[in-house]
Amino acid sequence: MNNQIEALILDWAGTVVDFGSFAPTAIFVEAFAEAFDFPISLAEARVPMGLGKWDHIHTLGQLPEVAARWQARFGRPMGRSDVDFIYATFMPLQIEAVARYSAPIAGVLPVLDRLRERGIKLGSCSGYPRAVMEALVPAAAAHGYRPDHWVASDDLPAGARPGPWMALENVVRLGVGDVAHCIKVDDAIPGIEEGKRAGMWTVGLAVSGNEFGATWEAFQAMTPEEIAQRRERASERLKAAGAHYVIDTLADIEPVIAEIAARLARGERP
């Protein structure tokens, strides 16, 4: 019986590129300000991270604090036409910005190269729509990251996260024989839910992405106590979402792959 991992299905921002997942979150703040002169905080922008971007904006508008401020400002709840307008404002800002955040997270590319040498395939999916991915993919390739396949949030009629469809589209395209031999790696809760619903092992990233929410420079300047506190908070949220494992960054994935292979050999499944 094959007990080896066949593929990793990887998120993009906060997982492989863009330490801290700032390309999407910062642009949400900018889009709300430009579209309606309406302020939201970076912390609020992070709450729905991992969803497709229209759904992200819609969910942001439903957050109690945001909804209350919107009602007080405009005298009505945020409607679909408002979401459409913010999304239309967001898209060109995001396309323009995404290449600036395309650098791989430290230590990730050598690990992915080693996994490829072992025959492990690299699939990927994102909360970014195709228009944004078409800017991000070549920018990341210029830094040396080229997954075997990628799926955008608006590619599939069924939808995007937290549903399983983007992850499963990778399974089909990569020719993976068993979803239990796949690992979904993500820094955001909807991505963990996506992997679980697809029948895969799931690995959450506690430091490099959305839940930790710091730039590389800010992370390096933190005290060990602050890092530990923020790591614990992020880990608890990812585990509560169903992550089978939580590690700091994708660069730490190899021992997890070995452990999952051993569990498969014992007949365990996700």
The pLDDT averaged over each successive group of 10 residues in the chain (270 residues) is 86 96 91 96 92 94 96 96 96 92 97 97 96 96 98 96 97 97 97 98 97 94 97 97 98 98 96
* Burial state string for 107-130 with b = 16 or more CB within 10 A and e = fewer than 16: ebbebbeebeeeebbbbbbbbbbe
77 contacts 71 by C-beta, under 8 angstroms? yes
Active site (annotated) includes residue 53: yes
Radius of gyration for the alpha carbons in the chain, expressed in angstroms and rounded: 18
Count the neighbouring beta carbons within 10 Å of the beta carbon of residue 154: 17
Distance CA 90, CA 32 (A): 8
Distance CA 183, CA 12 (A): 15
Distance CA 200, CA 164 (A): 10
Copy the structure tokens of residue 226: 């602050």
Count the neighbouring beta carbons within 10 Å of the beta carbon of residue 142: 12
State residue 41's pLDDT score. Answer: 95
**Marked catalytic residue, from 18, 53, 196, 252:** 53
Q: Is 151 helix (H, G, I), strand (E, B) or coil?
A: strand
Distance CA 167, CA 150 (A): 9
- DSSP symbol at 206: S
State residue 1's pLDDT score. Answer: 45
pTM of the model: 0.92
239, amino acid identity: K
